[in-house]
Amino acid sequence: MTKAVIYLRSATANQEQTDRQEASCRSYLRERGLRASRTFRDDGHPGPALAQLLDAAANGEVTDVAIAGLDRLGRRFTENLDNVTALELAGVTIHTAAGIIAGPISDSCVRSMLYKIALAEAELVTDDDTRTPRRA
């Protein structure tokens, strides 16, 4: 039985942005004969709603998650990789409004790309909160 959910996040806590994300995700799911039973929504950084989604996935309460874009799962590639991995380990198919990204990730090219970007990002150190990258 499919247990689809939607995860929304606006980095700026913009209600209009999350409303557009939700409409896009619902349309995507509807076109595929799926219906979301729950919506998780975070404003700003990925937070409590993402944690609830990951817990629900780990407990087998979710089989599919629809997101507007892969960047919704984390502000940094390292976060994206960790969250995609957690969903993959739980057997969750990740959908974006543009199409299926992972499900679970079996395409080594996608995993390799996320891993390499996460490694490159981890090498960058930021000065205070200015987000000015410099090599470590």
pLDDT at 115: 66
Cα dihedral 78/64/54/44 (nearest 10): 60
d(CA 118, CA 81): 7
Task: Please report whether residue 23 resides in a domain.
Answer: yes
Average pLDDT across each block of 10 residues of the chain; the chain has 136 residues. List them in order.
91 89 94 94 89 96 92 82 90 81 51 68 58 49
Task: Please report whether residue 130 resides in a domain.
Answer: no
pLDDT at 113: 66
Please tell me the total count of domains within the chain: 1
79: containing domain:
4-104
Task: Please report whether residue 100 resides in a domain.
Answer: yes
pLDDT at 103: 46
d(CA 52, CA 65): 13
Angle at 26 between CA 44 and CA 28, to 5 degrees: 110
Q: What is the pTM of this model?
A: 0.75
pLDDT at 45: 80
CB 68 within 8 A of CB 24: yes
Task: Please report whether residue 127 resides in a domain.
Answer: no
